[in-house]
Homo-oligomer: A and B are copies of this chain.
């Protein structure tokens, strides 16, 4: 029995390590995708696109290990909840990687970069979303439900940024019809950042659940 407990601890440590690695790559990808957009750096954008395969492979590795852990160690209660959370979190982090890739693909679709003011709003919005991803991974590593709740609360800021960018870009479109194509790209990018924030919130709920056995009481506040 003690052998099984030790084996389970090893599995769960490895699972947590893989989630940290996967999450770290997703966070880096969101950050670099936005850098690539702001600087028109196609090479960096390409790196983000390539990295998505690594993220997908990590999800599969996490799935495999989680299944093996359930099958061989037969964890109960809290331990089982932790393995299930790892499976679900990996699914959501994979999606955050998708949004980064989607942003990166738009690098060469923005023209006249230097005179395109709405672009200036993206980094600050992106920073909040990237921080959410970063902090939710910290909350996961530290099993910290309070930090998880704090991440959930921050989603409203990303939403407010999105609304503000949307209004600004639409105004810019009206005043500069020639740049409508590039401006539309910016709306897609802002929407992808918003979704990163939404999915970080989703992970935060799972972290809270894994740490406490209950979902945060203000769970649906994230839709605000």
Contact surface of A with B, Cβ cutoff 8 Å = 52, 56, 63, 67, 70-71, 74, 80, 84, 87-88, 91-92, 95, 98-99, 101-103, 105, 159, 163, 166-167, 170, 187-188, 191-192, 195, 198, 202, 206, 215, 219-220, 222-224
The answer to whether A101 touches B220, judged by C-beta atoms less than 8 angstroms apart, is yes
Give the complex CA separation of A202 and B163 in angstroms: 23
Contact of A224 with B102 at beta-carbon distance under 8 Å, contacts A87-B84, A95-B202, A166-B166 already known:
yes
Q: Closest Cβ of chain B: how far from A168's Cβ, in Å?
A: 11
Q: Which interface residue of A74, A206, A220 has the most chain B CB atoms within 10 A?
A: A220
Contact of A198 among B70, B195, B219 (CB under 8 A): B195
Contact of A188 among B52, B67, B224 (CB under 8 A): B224
Q: Which interface residue of A67, A187, A219 has the most chain B CB atoms within 10 A?
A: A67
